[in-house]
Structure 1
Amino acid sequence: MAEPYLVIDNIKKEFPRRTEAPLRVIDGLDVGVEKGALLSILGPSGCGKSTLLNIINGLDDVTSGRIVINGHEVSVKSRSKLKIGVVFQDSRLLPWRTVKDNVRLPLDELGIDRAEADRRVTYYLNLVGLGDFGDYFPLRLSGGMQQRVSLARGLAIEPDLLLADEPFSALDEITARKLRQEFISIWRATGRTVIFVTHNIREAVFLSTRMLVITPRPARTHLDLDIDVPYPRTPEDDRLFEIEKRVTRDFIAMEEASV
């Protein structure tokens, strides 16, 4: 069997404390993710999801274990060898730069030549449906449109991995529902491997090829579930609803057992 595209190999993460034993935040996570998958990660607040994303993004190192993306082991020192796109909960756009210039910003930082950068900016803004808004400034756009600019920016570097950190949680449900549909279309069009962090079980079930539910701190794998409902999906699909109910019951039982 081929090596998974993303390998999270028995990682542990501890933070030192001056007068107490180290705080263990992650305790032996093991995951292998195939290329082109959309893996959602769920867990209670404070369980270590943000720490895990920082490690995958090369912003922090593991205490033990390893993370490998497309054959490259991830660390703070090796981070420059990988391209990790990130879409945050808020769009984090620079209000004094146009939409086009916001998308171009990471390309300039990577030293992409101007002609190629222009091509990518045009392509990815069109892909997210904002090709006519390149000369707008972010504050003229709705929250949903700003998130689509953020997605275009994350994709424009043509990343080895795209991390989506609760990108729709600040939006109203109608807007979020529309963007979930669009996100699936864009993910399938690009073929990128995506790690999607969310607190929303319905969102995770609807979007994902696979769900990883992790325990309260220290984070361990509680549930690793393939979502085998074919795309395109509709929110009203009874198969998705049955999976959502099952995961919700299991998640509540996990939280109650940890109290």
Structure 2
Amino acid sequence: MSAIFSGDNKIILADNMEFLTSVPDKSVTMIYVDPPFNTGRTQSRTQMKTVRVANGKGDRVGFGGHSYETLRGALASYDDAFTNYWDFLEPRLEQAWRILADDGTLYLHLDYREVHYAKVMLDMIFGRDHFLNEIIWAYDYGGKSRSRWPAKHDTILVYVKDPTKYWFDSEEVDREPYMAPGLVTPEKRERGKMPTDVWWHTIVSPTGKEKTGYPTQKPVGLVRRMVAASSRRGDWVLDFFAGSGTLGAAAQQLGRRYVLVDQNPQAIDVMTKRLPAAALVGV
């Protein structure tokens, strides 16, 4: 796998952990991952907290040389394909940190059920001062609860490998209309405004041309914004929970090179049809 980030764009059928451990350090500029949200019907919450302990006796040494101990309670069974979501996700995020280039950025896409645990985890892996943004993707589609405020957003955590070197180009990002256009000059109104950390963007239309049939497909416009800001033309971007291949579609539009990894044959089938020019590896 040492040459995986060279040559053609690639779609890889593989277990993502096996793939990640084979990738050399600092190989990729931008990683976007949209892992399973762990929304099985039978759920209970793990009790997790991180405390700094004296004399370097913790089970994790964090940034700045501080020693940490991670305390987890028992996590009961889930309906997902794994029994402990966090034991599943943490080593993959550690590998993501390792393979990011010094100017690289991670975008971790989760929903409200798990994002607070992931924030603690990423603070430990990357360091709290490597946290860049919490992006809220807000949409208005689907069922409406009458017993609580309807949940209509996902959260995307953004961490950088090196806070002094990461790449971010706001000029590359598609701009959006002002919410109060009468309060700005005609020139600003014509150009549009830089997006904030709250992104209003529709989901993939069930009847639209973008729809692939993959159940967790994310809209290209959403991921395109991340790729545009955090990579340059010709840079390598990676999604190791690739699903429908939206990162590849966004990267292709912007002239970035991509590697998409998934072990689900349905996902591989969707991606190869959606991105026919990419090389298929691992089958």
**TM-score above 0.5:** no
Instruction: Tell which structure's C-alpha radius of gyration is larger.
Output: 2
Structure with greater helix percent:
1
Structure 1 length-normalised TM: 0.38
Query: TM-score, structure 2 length as denominator?
Result: 0.35
